Structures are given as C-alpha cells and as structure tokens.
Structure 1
Amino acid sequence: MQSQGFPDTGGVTETGGRVEMGVTATETVEQYEPVLDATLAYARRHDYIGPDYGDGLSSQLLQALPVENRVLNLVVQETVKRTPVDVRPLFRVECKRNYKGAALFAMANRNYQQLAAQDIADRGVADLPFDPEGEADRLVDWLVDERITDYSGFCGGHRHPIQHLHTKGVPSDPDIVSTAYAVRAFLQAARTDDDAEEYAELARTAADFLVEDLNYREVETGAKVDYHMNHPDDSYTVNAAAIGAHMLVDLYDYFGDEEYRERATKILDHIATAQTDIGGWPYRLPASASHLSMDSHHNGFVIEAFQHYRDVLGSDRYADTLDTALEFYREDLFDLDGAPNFDEEHAYPRDIHASTQGILVFTKEGELELAERILRWVLANLQVEGEEGRYYYRKYRHHTKRVTLMRWCQGWMSYAMSEFLLAVSNSDTDVRTSTVVNSMDSSTTETEAEAQALAQPTTDGGRPPNDTPSDCDDETDSQS
C-alpha cells in the first residue's frame, strides 16, 4: 500500500471493534510528497512532452495525404481520442508540449519549492532531488516564447490542430483557457521572484485579449465572453467564461485595477443566472447546443471561479450560488469513496481530470479530508501499477484507458497534489479524523457504514443507479 501512496492510519487505536484514526498534517505531507515528487519526475524525464487529449490531427499519416477532408479529420481525431488502447503510434501522432500543461507544471514546480522550504523550516530537510524553481522558470520562459502574437494582448493556445464540427482550429488560434492558466503561472512567478515583474506586465495585457478579441459584451444579466476565436454564434461555453472571470480576478488581485473586478463580476453575474435548479451548469448554453450535460470537471472550473472571487474580494455576492453548486458537486458528482462521476446521471467513465478538479475545489473550500479521499481513489484506481507517479486517463466500467496524457494526467495531478499539500502543510488540524468500523455486522448503523466506506478507496467505486457508461465525451473543441 505504501508504494501506491496511501497514508498510514497515523495514531491508530482499536476500541470495541472500531478503529479511531487521526492523520496529522505533517504525516499527510510526508506520505504524499514522494508521490508528487514521482509525478513531476515522470514529466521531467519526458521534458513535459507527451500525448495530449485531442491530438489526433497531429498524425503524420493524416498530414501526408494530398487532400484534406473534414469527415476524415473527425474520424481520425475521435478514433485516437476514444479507442480503448493507445493508437497514436499506429497513426504516428507527433507528441508536443501542451501550452496549458506547461503552465500547470510551472505552478506545480513552484509549489513544490514552497513545500521544500517549509520542510527545511519545520524538519531540517534540505536534500532536493531536483531544482523545482529552475524548472518553473524554464517553463515560464517557454510560455513567453511560445505565446501567440498579433492579437490585442497576451494569449496562448493548444499546439495541435483541432477539427470542430464545422470549422478547424489551428495551433495559431488562441483561447481563454490556455491563456488564463499561463497568466496564473506568470503572476505566481512575479509574486515569488522580485526580478520577474515583466511576467506580470505581460500577463496584464491578457485582459485586452479577453475584451477585444474574445468579444466581451454586456448583456441584460451581466456579460459574456467567447471561449476561442472560432466559437459558434448560437451557443455559449459556460466554463470557459468562468475561467476568463477567474483570470480577471487574478489580475485584480495583483494590480488592483477596478475594471478587472467589474468585468469579472458581470461575467459571473451572467453565469450565476444560468445555474440549474439542482446546482450545476450545462457545458453550453443553451444546453441543447452540446451533447455534454453537467459533467464533473467543467462544473468544477465554474465553482472554482466563484470560490476565487469570494476569497480575493471577501465578498458573499455569490454565496447562495456557491452553496448550491458545492452541494451538487459534492453529492452528485462524487461518490462516498472519492470516485468521480462523469456527470449528474452517469458514473462512467471516471476521468482523472474530474478527480484533480475535485481535489482543487475541495482544497480551496477547506474540505481537506474529502480532497484526500479523492486523491486516494486516484492512487488506487488510476495510478499505473508498479510505477508510482504515472497515471492513466480514464476508468470505464469494464476496462481502463491505459494511456498517460502528459497534461491531462501528469500536469493536473502535479498541480492538484501540490495545491493540496500546501494547504495541508498550512493546516494545524488532522486531515483525516474519522471513526472507522472494523467489520460490518447486524448492529452496524448507517453512519458507521458510511465511516467504513471512507476508510479505504474502492477499486470500482460504482454507484448502482448511475453506473451505465455515458454516451458523452468532451466536445470536439473542448480541450480543458
């Protein structure tokens, strides 16, 4: 169990058939920090380059054809994305470093540096297996070099062509999601390095990209902004707009410009009005514009934006929206053992990105026990057996998609774990304190049964009403 990154039960005492568990913050960091180290080490060995979600059009076989066909593009792209085994070698898909993935790795490395500094202060631990600050600096510089130019401000995008249903995206097309995460990495660098202010100044210009190039426009209920340059006019991608609002709050937090706060508020006002009665958001508005329903990780992005607004501004403007959303997210999109559900109706496929976003949301909410429960489920179900720190992409009802996507798996796990461990290291309470039943018997209460379910993650985690695999997969243009 230790090789899989599971924590010991800490101080354990057995009383009357029950086990009293208490895992301190220090013990939790000591248990999971090596897993984070191994996760980053895998990425470093590959120079942060690897397979990516939706990279099928980088097939050298497809690109060698004398003509281009939209239907053929879609067939190849979706075949590479959806097949149970990795067919990228068969199609000779070129692996590249993903733009948003580089931002995630940059932030994870800098978080690792902070954890190391705390280790030195708390325990005198000074031996680092690598230079995390140097890695972060190298990745941030790469983000600067690989930015997309000739727009109103700083922006970035995916480095693979993407076939949409009616148009084709090319690597020179920027989007708000890639841009926003690079902005976070820039501002983190500027906060931790007095000589890195130029990163913040570059990040500041991303607001102009959002307003001028992504069609920021005010509407009756607030404001809207497009996901990318080729977005259809008849629909609106909710989570992308929320990430744009998150970016504006990031810029407001750093620079204090009221215009950033005002625009973020208007975008979130509009998103708040679109919340469904059960607390979630469809992938697109109107909901009929997408086959995706209220899927897990995209709802997590929306919730995180509202959390960030609350935390930075100290505002309860969206308190009711956030309370309802968190209840839906917690109760409908995760099982008791930490397994992520695909959406509000389907458990499968269980996606690592849904797990990592859950870790981030519940860490930000201070629900560290739940965040750790999700992390433990990932390590039990999606970590490659015998290879600590490497992860598979998805778990289906009867098989696992045995593909390691560099950004989707390694990048998100690195970032989510590092944020979780920083929060734990700053906490003075036990991460996991619960009464766990040793064995079920006829006298076991419902509360005790729940406690037993929390004790260890399951390896299938199904919930019977919702275990039919979803027909849904992400939109052809959804790369988040």
Structure 2
Amino acid sequence: MTSQKIIWDSIESLHKWVKDQAYYGWDPYDALNSKFILKLCMGSPSLEILATQINKYSIVNFRPLLRVEKGIDVKGMALFAQAYSKMYTLTADENYKNDLLNCMLFLKEKSLVSIYGHDCWAGHYYNFRNSDKSILSPNIPDVITTSNVIKAAVESYKVLKRNDLIKMARSGYEFLTNSLLHESKDGYFYLDYDSSSDGKIVINASAEGLSAICKLMHLFDDKNLKETSYNLAEFLITNQNTDGSWIYSKYNNGKIRIQLDFHQGFIINSLLEYLPFAALNQKDRIISSIKNGAKFYKEKQFFEDGTCHFRYPQKYPIDIHNQAQGIITFSKLAPFNNEFSNFSLKIALWTILNMQNRAGYFYYQKYRIFRNNIPHIRWGQAWMMLALATYLEVKEEQK
C-alpha cells in the first residue's frame, strides 16, 4: 500500500467518524461546560482553574459522570472548512463541497457581528478560565478563531464562489485591525489575543492574524493589507530568539512565558504565507527567520521517528495537536528542502499508526506506557484532518 493511499484511507475514516458525531464532541478545556462543576467551584477562579486542569490531564474521561456537555467548536469548524476546501479541490467530490458549505453556514451564523459591529468569532462554546485567572466565553472573540474563519472563508470562496464569504472575511479583518491591533512600547505593531488581553502580548496571536491577512492579499491588492502584514511580520522576526525559537508571551511587568510546542509551527507558517508578499527590504530577513525557525523546530522539538516533544525539552505526553502541526509546517516547508516533505510524511505515518483508532478518530495524547484515548473534536480531529489534507495538497502541487 502506498503512503498516499494510507493517508487517504486515514482521512476518509476520520471524516466518516466526524460526520457520525455531527461535529459534537468534547474539548481539553471544557470542564466549566458543566453546571455541576460550576456549582462545586462556587465562583472561585482558583477552583475553576484546578477543575479545568484536572479535567484536561485526566486519562479517565469523567465528563459523562460530571455532566460536561458536548458542543460544536467554532474554531474546529473553521479548521474542518479549510480541510474540506483542499479535499474538494483534490477530488472534486461533491460530498466535500456540501460539507464545506455547511461548515461556512455554521460559521456565518456564529459570527458576533451584532455585538461588535464587525464579523468576529469566539473559540470556545463554553466558559474557560485561564491560568492567569482571565476568562474566555462564547461572547469574547479572539484572534486565533477569527483568523481561522477568515482563512476558511477565503479558501471556501475559491470553491463556492459566494461573495458573502469574502465580505465576511473582510469584515473579520476590520475587527482585527480596529479592535486588536496595537503598538508596543518599542514601536512594533502586534495583535492582542482578545479584547481582555491587556498587559499581555501572545506572539503567535500576531502570527495567526498575519496568515489570515495573507489569504486576503491573494485576492486584493490593498495598501492597508500590505502595511498591516509588513508591520506584523516585523514584529515576529524581531521577537525571534537567536536559536530560532519564539517565546509564547510577554507581559508589561517584564515577565515572559516560554512554551515551546505547536505554536512555533504557527509562526513559521505565517512567515511562509507572508514570504511572497514581503517587501524587498524584508525578504532576506524573512527567509533567514524561516530557516532558523525550521531548524529549531525540527532539530530540537522533533525526534527522528516523527514524534514531537510535548513542550521542549519535556518529551511526554506526545500530543495530537503537536503531531498535526508538524505535518502542516513541514509540508509547507517542502519548497525550502524536499527532506521537509519526507519528514512530514514520517510524522503523518507515525501518527496514523500509533494514534488513530480503528473507528477513525485520533487519540488525544500518548504517554510512555499508556494513552489518553479521549477523542477531542477540535484539538485532535479537526487539526489532523487539516494536517493530512495539507500534506496531500502540497504533494499534488509538487507534481
């Protein structure tokens, strides 16, 4: 059996399982989607954080017992939509086109435009308490989800030819620039993670916004888009460490958070998306940044067998989101070196062999001697569908 056949079999099995679930599922951070847990926490942020973390890392799925309700994840639907766009383009299968349309109609319905004046989206269908005690809710839009819906809208427009999708994507861009774009103390422009992120700069938030803007730039020759993307790219390459990595976030009080995981892939992807649009005085620096980032990502974060550190230098658990992002990033790095394409295939095959259930879904995490088998929809299934579709898309482009 060829590697292409293995990947197509995997993605079709995953697709069937997801459709059987009607996109409903759990999420690693969904503890507070239980009225029972909320009652136990008594409004205490510390108890809510504790409940969320226990729920996230438990290898026993207590969600049914604790009455954690399943939901449809907005960010997950944006990822599925991006995958379906690629899968339809590769196969011309009308089923994928219909699935794409249903995803986009769902996303259009979930827009918070009536509240914020521009199309924007929240990534959580439940309340979520961050470790810094801030809270996210279904009514607080964030840059990651909004950016992924913009990307989905642009990709789906190529298939569905619906002008309302492009209008929605442009409106999403207006939300990013009007509500989340700020200038740092050192004169660089960045995007807040969400409207409640005052005092904290999350590096990959700007990267995801840049990726979305680049999708729009393929359709529009717009001075404002070019200026915003230039500024965000400058922010990213300026904040890269000399070893090629990026910190996760930094605070106004000088504190920084280091978290070396799939977010590194997000940033590399955004610079790859931006490279065709880079100004002449930027291009060499962008290429250098990509190469340095890719070197750290492959040599430090991944092992030769295709597994990724959980958070470098911590190896376990092997996390499905890390695996998916590796497939995506190294597939997109193939034009720099064909060995990256071979490595993305190695990651994909290892993940299919070791983390996909016969029913079609992917496990959440794999430890040295046991697994967390919970099939999180967005964290595992949506990212893996997009990852495998991205690999197949890039291989087709290389023919």
Answer yes or no: same fold by TM over 0.5. Answer: yes
Indicate the residue corresponding to 2:210 in structure 1: 245
Unaligned runs of 5+ in 2: 335-339
Q: Distance between the aligned counterparts of 1:328 and 1:210, measured in 2?
A: 30
Which range moved further: 61-70 or 390-399? 61-70
How far apart are the structure 2 equivalents of 1:207 and 1:108? 21
- Which of the residues 56, 59, 66 maps onto 2:34? 59
Equivalence map 1:328-407=2 (5 Å): 328-366=296-334, 367-384=340-357, 386-387=358-359, 389-407=360-378
For 2:293, which of 321, 325, 330 is the aligned residue? 325
Per the alignment, residue 148 of structure 1 pairs with 112
**Do the aligned residues in 2 keep the contact of 1:29 with 1:424 (CA within 8 Å)?**
no
Amino acid at match of 2:246: W
Question: Deviation of residue 250 (structure 1)?
Answer: 1.7
Question: Any residues of structure 2 matched to 1:55-454 within 5 Å, and which?
Answer: 55-64=30-39, 67-117=42-92, 131-149=95-113, 150-157=115-122, 158-164=124-130, 165-194=132-161, 196-217=162-183, 220-233=186-199, 235-285=200-250, 289=255, 293-313=258-278, 315-366=283-334, 367-384=340-357, 386-387=358-359, 389-428=360-399
Structure 2 counterpart of 1:16: none
Q: Please state how far the C-alpha of 1:249 moved relative to its aligned partner.
A: 1.6
The 1:251–1:105 alpha-carbon spacing in structure 2 relative to 1, beyond 3 Å, is same
Distance (Å, rounded) in 2 between the aligned partners of 1:221 and 1:335: 38
Structure 1 position 289, deviation (Å) = 4.0
Q: What is the distance in 2 between the residues matched to 1:252 and 1:152? A: 23
Give, as a single letter, the amino acid of the residue that structure 2 aligns with 1:148: L
Separation (CA, whole Å) in 1 of partners of 2:293 and 2:306: 18
> Does the residue aligned with 2:218 lie in a helix, a strand or coil?
helix
Map of 1:121 onto structure 2:
none
**Partners in 1 of 2:235 and 2:278 — Cα distance?**
18
Q: Partners in 2 of 1:343 and 1:163 — Cα distance? A: 21
Taking the aligned partners of 2:314 and 2:290, their CA distance within structure 1 comes to 23
Distance 1:32 1:209, change over 3 A: same
Aligned partners of 1:109 and 1:135 also within 8 Å: yes
CA contact (8 A) 2:49 2:133 kept: no
Distance verdict in 2 for CA 1:289–1:398, change over 3 Å: farther
Q: Look up the SS of the partner of 1:296 in the other structure.
A: coil
Assess if the C-alpha contact under 8 Å between 1:393 and 1:404 holds in 2: yes
User: Quick check: which one's helix share is greater?
Assistant: 2
Please state whether the residue corresponding to 2:116 is helix, strand or coil: coil
- CA distance, structure 2, for counterparts of residue 316 and residue 260 of structure 1: 21
- Alpha carbons 1:111, 1:422 under 8 Å: kept: yes
Residues 59 and 94, structure 1, Cα contact 8 Å, conserved in 2? yes
Contact residue 97 and residue 159 of structure 2 kept, 8 A: no
Q: Deviations over 1:78-99 (max 9, x none)?
A: 1111112111112111111101
Distance change (3 Å), C-alpha of 1:425 and 1:29: farther
CA distance in 2, matches of 1:28, 1:222: 44
Q: Distance in 2 between matches of 1:390 and 1:168?
A: 30
State the distance in 1 between where 2:332 and 2:218 align: 17
Contact 1:274 1:281 in 2 (8 A): yes
2:362·2:380 contact (CA, 8 Å) conserved in 1? yes
Give the alignment's TM-score, normalised by structure 2.
0.91
Distance 1:170 1:268, change over 3 A: same
- Mapped contact 1:252–1:258 kept (Cα < 8 A): no
Relative to structure 1, the CA distance from residue 219 to residue 262 in structure 2 (aligned partners, 3 Å threshold; closer, same or farther) is: farther
TM-score after normalising by structure 1:
0.77
Q: Which residue of 1 aligns with 2:337?
A: none
Distance in 2 between residues matched to 1:159 and 1:249, nearest whole Å: 27
**How far apart, in 2, do the equivalents of 1:289 and 1:310 lie?**
31
Question: Size of the alignment, in residue pairs?
Answer: 387
- Between the aligned partners of 1:276 and 1:184, the Cα distance in structure 2 is 28
> Do the aligned residues in 2 keep the contact of 1:60 with 1:94 (CA within 8 Å)?
no
In the aligned structure 1, how far is the partner of 2:287 from the partner of 2:347?
25
Tell me the distance in 2 between the aligned counterparts of 1:87 and 1:289.
35
Determine which structure has more spread, i.e. the larger CA radius of gyration: 1
The residue matched to 1:318 in structure 2 has which SS?
helix
- Quote how far apart the aligned CAs of 1:342 are: 2.0
Of 11, 24, 30, which residue of structure 2 is paired with 1:36? 11
Offset, 1:28? 3.4
Displacement of 1:321:
1.0
Structure 1 residue 230, shift from structure 2 partner: 1.2
Which residue identity does 1:217 align to in structure 2?
E
Stretch deviating more after TM superposition (295-304 or 151-160): 151-160
Measured in 1, the distance between the counterparts of 2:272 and 2:327 equals 14
CA distance in 2, matches of 1:146, 1:202: 12
Compute the displacement of 1:30 (Å): 2.7
